Chains A and B, each alone.
Chain A
């Protein structure tokens, strides 16, 4: 302990700074709660706007340079994030591009030009954020034009099958699902997105992709009594955690950023773990899949590449790309929110967590992880290191998220199903549910009602009725208790209908057929 203390406190930490629109700017003395948004605006870069300060509107979107997943053609990519949520201190050593850095009135960026010419702005307040989200998708290395099709954004008729969410230029509209516009009704924004060509090879942001991503330096920024620390590795992190019981662990800051902005949370000591290499591994083995707790949802999605169909149903319904580019899977479990979306899915998959602390690692089944409302078995000096999903996976899986809005909304109930059905009989059923109790729970009575039963209408309807009685859902602004119960019941009926082909109930995000 003594030696490592010496290590972390004596290794000199270089002065903190970041590269903002190509220029290096010092970060000395920024308080840990100062967001990137407030910081750039105080510097006079007021193009980036605050619409909500809680990750919902995207007016604050900016681009950051990030490492690409292993095996990518280029080492670096530009991703868009919500600058209102992330502490600027967390970006020590990083590269940030704001709307001002993309182009100027005299020299418009292609995204800016399309948005301006097509009426993509009315009041213009949401526009810088849209421009940044759109630019990230514009620069996505694997964005490739689709084979010629009739989509021009101005309306389609006839009966051709059309994917409304993907442009002829390969632009995925979901890239904009974390941006709100109150004025335009979105059509011109969609047109602008679908009109974009490929970036010029000499575009500096394209060139930047072929160089290594910015290093993640060890950071130590003090501001009065407050301190922000980013350790170099897991060992150092655990040691700091032991020494500083008051430390607040920070990963993508999508939960903590909201607490800072809306609830006035002012942590005196912040410990950033989101870039610890030991928490960022991904491994698909024979017996299990291991997912580093500090990987963002975007990284997990790409890294798993479809290995876990149930998670693939989850990702597009989890927040927005802006959030998924920051939010980590481990934190989504660490917060133990009863309405977190990962838990129901991972409960159904019978995942377990590896907790790591001063005395080493321990493996805890997720099922036993949550102990009460926002409480878990994790000790204060432990971190979640990884999430393990046992293999083989169940054959029939589904994720049902019920919310007011189709995308980027918090669940009123969420149900993850993992069923093994053989010879028309349910051999094994695992069901995880969020939104009906103080913690995410397994629907054990329903599991029992299904196991050993025929996979046919009557037993399924009976089990669905049992599912409706699980937990103790409440009424709040998102939904009534009655609706929550009804949705539990319906979720199993919907799964059955989908599986037995009785009904091809459309799933959000799936390609849609054209108008009748």
Chain B
């Protein structure tokens, strides 16, 4: 067992603890960024002037009228920017644009004594536009050759010739939707300026270091002039990885220009219309199977809808291409990926980061092809699993496939899938208007940032003279329980009770140069760094203890707040005090970088992932044939989190991720106006909570059984754990596939169901309607439904 993954006796990691802030959450005492402004004096409030056009040149910007509104203090425009007028890292996202590229884009910002004054002021700003041609859909972008960033290809063998040899080949297409993060807390920043001119920005950000860098470059100052703090976030899900920077910069710019604190907080509609979302994709594919249903070749082209600027679209695409295989061995593959440029919000990271989109393509293929091959979908999936030692299309050796099989078998038996399939067939035979479907799907998800440099973490651990401990690390807390885990890691590493350890909010002046809290890697990276810092401190304390207790240094152990050696012991606090008097350094900066990974982005080849996280889910749904409405009756999940650092947190991540994934695949329906009406084109038509619906309690599976995979120690990761933030989202494919099977039950055996994504009741209704019509072959294929091209056997 590696030093990093080995656990001491009675570790605090592994205990099922509530979230470290749970008591503050439930009493309303937990502070979020926008809770600070009522506690801050003389705050100015900001309101954006938003573009009504999907694409237009700003020909004139006239702000004087805004100043007529009582309470308007300042209008921020491009001319105010002392540094770089860009809110991103790629210089393609002007903070104050002279060409607007999506409806809702901020042209300038008005600062007022009250939010009301700022809002009214913004309404007075006159902007003249010269509308330009706009591209709204991926299809339009493909037609117009509108792409951004590099086209990438993952290739192994020769897919074309393998397809030509395959016993069965099928071809098809799918276009599927993105997803709004809908963190309950919208974007927020509050900036103040210190006496020395240094700027302090409190921001709801997953990436404080990058927020700091962008604020600094907009202000034209060094990073050391800017401190960014994130208290906690009311949800992030990737939506606050790249997107907060511009808002923080506006607040900081306003604060430096006025000398007063400036608050930027988006209301829900602003957040929905201004910030990026999960990428929707289009995929066209050809797939080949042998006589036994083994995948032999896949050729597919994925086009993601990147929106108006690159943002994180390239790494998202890379991860998508690296997850098309999911859990399946496909000998010959060619996976091409490109990013469309459209006039929409700049699509960005979202839990899974392209992985779910890549996997959807293959799960959709299998779901559509199974009936055509005459093989049960669960059988077809199982038959194609990787075995250890096989490599992914991008060249990484796959390990631990035994875990996937164990999880699959465990779900199959504990959820009694065999028995229930029989019961379900009986139910479906007995009911004309209600059908049930039951599906089981696997997840294999790679952990680590594809971009190797980001796989590093930092921490700062202070032991005070009274023996209490304060930790700081580079990760941010957005509800995923990272801080809870980090407290457990520190207490375990130092051998002190949890009550001795506290954690201070994430700040760039404590731990610099941090990576985004993303890619599920927060605990791996920051946990490694905290453990390192704690061990440095213990290494210094050990000789002091050995001397005091008169024992050999190697015998000294730290456990439960005591320092022990054989029969002897002394309290931790006493040792700490002694060490201080002996002039021993009681604080340390810790550092961690993930070893053994490498990646060549040009040829899309290497070993980008430290390991894979595995999971399996089975879902049963019931579909109403009159409306297409459905309920999820039961879900069973077995998921691999390694040796859990914090089981309550991990189960929360699994359940929450699953429900969020089910939301993406079934309910959440981003709609953009695609009409030619210049007043409407490019508008997000689901721009409020009343039109963009999230799963609520009624969408929760009536029965939800979640188990953590046992015997799952992960070598070489902090205390044997595995990342958990993203992978469970993809367990929700089980729901989509169960819906497909329920729809199929309305039709004749062998009918291949084409199901839109999201599978809203309307989409399900058309799918089951089509299945019903399949009994009557005279009816032509209803291609006018806007469905992708029907799977055809060629």
Residues of A within 8 A of B (CB): 41-57, 59, 98-100, 102-105, 108, 111-113, 115-128, 131, 155-157, 164, 173, 176-177, 179-190, 258, 261-262, 264, 402-410, 476-480, 483, 486-487, 490-491, 493-494, 497, 502-506, 508, 512, 514-516
A190 to B21, CA, bound (A): 20
Shortest Cβ-Cβ A-B pairs, 4 listed: A47-B28, A123-B479, A125-B234, A124-B25
From A45, A189, A406, A483, give the contact of B631 (CB < 8 A).
Answer: A406
B582 lies within 8 A of chain A by Cβ: no
A sample of 22 inter-chain contacts (CB < 8 A) reads A51-B268, A52-B268, A54-B690, A105-B29, A115-B25, A115-B26, A122-B19, A122-B656, A123-B184, A123-B232, A131-B26, A164-B702, A164-B703, A179-B697, A402-B629, A403-B761, A409-B693, A410-B691, A478-B691, A479-B762, A497-B433, A512-B633
Interface centre among B232, B236, B696 (most CB of A within 10 A): B696
A347 to B604, CA, bound (A): 63
A121 to B24, CA, bound (A): 10
Quick one: closest A residue to B268, CB to CB? Answer: A52
Residues of B within 8 A of A (CB): 18-19, 21-32, 35, 38-39, 119, 181-186, 232-237, 267-269, 420, 423-424, 427, 431-434, 436, 478-481, 620, 622, 624, 626-627, 629, 631, 633-634, 648-649, 651-652, 655-660, 667, 669, 671, 685-686, 688-691, 693-700, 702-705, 760-762, 765-766, 769
Q: Are B697 and A124 in contact (CB under 8 A)?
A: no
- What residues on B are CB-neighbors of A48 within 8 Å? 28
- What residues on B are CB-neighbors of A176 within 8 Å? 697
Chain B nearest CB, measured from A181 CB (Å)? 7
Could you list 15 further interchain pairs (A-B, Cβ under 8 angstroms) beyond the known A49-B184, A185-B655, A490-B627?
A104-B29, A122-B479, A155-B705, A180-B696, A182-B660, A187-B704, A403-B761, A404-B667, A404-B669, A409-B693, A477-B671, A486-B769, A506-B434, A515-B420, A516-B427
Q: Are B760 and A116 in contact (CB under 8 A)?
A: no
From A43, A155, A182, A407, give the contact of B184 (CB < 8 A).
Answer: A182
A262 to B19, CA, bound (A): 34
Quick one: closest A residue to B480, CB to CB? Answer: A122
Quick one: closest A residue to B237, CB to CB? Answer: A182
Q: Are B626 and A505 in contact (CB under 8 A)?
A: yes
Chain A nearest CB, measured from B675 CB (Å)? 10
From A41, A104, A264, A479, give the contact of B119 (CB < 8 A).
Answer: A264
From B21, B39, B620, give the contact of A124 (CB < 8 A).
Answer: B21
Chain B nearest CB, measured from A249 CB (Å)? 22
Given A46-B35, A128-B28, A177-B698; A515-B703 close (CB under 8 Å): yes
Q: Are B626 and A155 in contact (CB under 8 A)?
A: no
A361 to B329, CA, bound (A): 77
Q: Are B685 and A127 in contact (CB under 8 A)?
A: no
A403 to B699, CA, bound (A): 13
Interface centre among B436, B624, B652, B667 (most CB of A within 10 A): B652
Q: Are A49 and B697 in contact (CB under 8 A)?
A: no
A505 to B432, CA, bound (A): 10
Q: Are A46 and B704 in contact (CB under 8 A)?
A: no
A3 to B259, CA, bound (A): 57
A23 to B481, CA, bound (A): 36
Interface of A, helix, strand, loop or mixed by DSSP: loop
From B19, B21, B622, B700, give the contact of A119 (CB < 8 A).
Answer: B19
- What residues on A are CB-neighbors of B652 within 8 Å? 119, 122, 183-185, 188
Quick one: closest B residue to A127, CB to CB? Answer: B25
- What residues on A are CB-neighbors of B667 within 8 Å? 404-405
From A104, A407, A497, A508, give the contact of B27 (CB < 8 A).
Answer: A104
Q: Are A56 and B656 in contact (CB under 8 A)?
A: no
Chain B nearest CB, measured from A74 CB (Å)? 27
Q: Are B689 and A56 in contact (CB under 8 A)?
A: yes
Q: Are A262 and B269 in contact (CB under 8 A)?
A: yes
Quick one: closest B residue to A31, CB to CB? Answer: B116
A331 to B667, CA, bound (A): 29
Interface centre among A112, A190, A478 (most CB of B within 10 A): A478
- What residues on A are CB-neighbors of B765 within 8 Å? 483, 486
Q: Are B693 and A108 in contact (CB under 8 A)?
A: no
Quick one: closest A residue to B17, CB to CB? Answer: A119
Chain A nearest CB, measured from B554 CB (Å)? 40
- What residues on A are CB-neighbors of B659 within 8 Å? 184-186
Chain A nearest CB, measured from B576 CB (Å)? 28
Chain B nearest CB, measured from A48 CB (Å)? 7
Given A44-B38, A119-B651, A122-B481; A185-B693 close (CB under 8 Å): no
- What residues on B are CB-neighbors of A480 within 8 Å? 762
Q: Are B23 and A483 in contact (CB under 8 A)?
A: no
From B18, B478, B622, B693, give the contact of A123 (CB < 8 A).
Answer: B478
A52 to B624, CA, bound (A): 31
Q: Are B656 and A127 in contact (CB under 8 A)?
A: no
Chain A nearest CB, measured from B219 CB (Å)? 29
Q: Are A124 and B626 in contact (CB under 8 A)?
A: no
- What residues on B are CB-neighbors of A476 within 8 Å? 685
Q: Are B620 and A51 in contact (CB under 8 A)?
A: no
Q: Are B423 and A516 in contact (CB under 8 A)?
A: yes
Q: Are B38 and A515 in contact (CB under 8 A)?
A: no
Q: Are A407 and B696 in contact (CB under 8 A)?
A: yes
Q: Are B685 and A477 in contact (CB under 8 A)?
A: yes
Q: Are A180 and B184 in contact (CB under 8 A)?
A: yes
Given A54-B268, A182-B184; A125-B424 close (CB under 8 Å): no
Q: Are A173 and B697 in contact (CB under 8 A)?
A: yes
A260 to B114, CA, bound (A): 16
- What residues on A are CB-neighbors of B688 within 8 Å? 52, 54, 56, 262
Quick one: closest A residue to B433, CB to CB? Answer: A503
- What residues on A are CB-neighbors of B431 within 8 Å? 503
Q: Are A477 and B686 in contact (CB under 8 A)?
A: yes
Interface centre among A115, A124, A404 (most CB of B within 10 A): A124
- What residues on A are CB-neighbors of B689 within 8 Å? 51-52, 54, 56-57, 180
Chain A nearest CB, measured from B413 CB (Å)? 13
- What residues on B are CB-neighbors of A125 within 8 Å? 32, 183-185, 234-235, 479
A480 to B685, CA, bound (A): 14
- What residues on B are CB-neighbors of A493 within 8 Å? 626
- What residues on A are CB-neighbors of B31 within 8 Å? 46
From A102, A112, A119, A186, give the contact of B648 (CB < 8 A).
Answer: A119
Q: Are A515 and B634 in contact (CB under 8 A)?
A: yes
Quick one: closest A residue to B672, CB to CB? Answer: A477
Q: Are A185 and B698 in contact (CB under 8 A)?
A: no
- What residues on A are CB-neighbors of B28 within 8 Å? 45-48, 98-100, 128, 131
- What residues on B are CB-neighbors of A508 within 8 Å? 629, 698
From B27, B423, B697, give the contact of A177 (CB < 8 A).
Answer: B697
Q: Are B698 and A44 in contact (CB under 8 A)?
A: no
- What residues on B are CB-neighbors of A113 within 8 Å? 26
Q: Are B268 and A506 in contact (CB under 8 A)?
A: no
Chain A nearest CB, measured from B711 CB (Å)? 23
Interface centre among A108, A120, A125, A478 (most CB of B within 10 A): A125
- What residues on B are CB-neighbors of A45 within 8 Å? 28
Interface centre among A115, A116, A189 (most CB of B within 10 A): A116
From B184, B432, B620, B698, give the contact of A181 (CB < 8 A).
Answer: B184
A325 to B719, CA, bound (A): 50
Quick one: closest A residue to B761, CB to CB? Answer: A404
Q: Are A502 and B38 in contact (CB under 8 A)?
A: no
- What residues on B are CB-neighbors of A179 within 8 Å? 696-697
A222 to B250, CA, bound (A): 35
Quick one: closest B residue to A492, CB to CB? Answer: B626
Quick one: closest A residue to B673, CB to CB? Answer: A477
Q: Are A516 and B436 in contact (CB under 8 A)?
A: yes
Given A49-B184, A190-B700; A503-B234 close (CB under 8 Å): no
Chain A nearest CB, measured from B632 CB (Å)? 11
Chain B nearest CB, measured from A511 CB (Å)? 11
- What residues on B are CB-neighbors of A478 within 8 Å? 691
A98 to B634, CA, bound (A): 36
Given A54-B690, A105-B24, A125-B32; A408-B696 close (CB under 8 Å): yes
A186 to B632, CA, bound (A): 14
Q: Are B629 and A406 in contact (CB under 8 A)?
A: yes
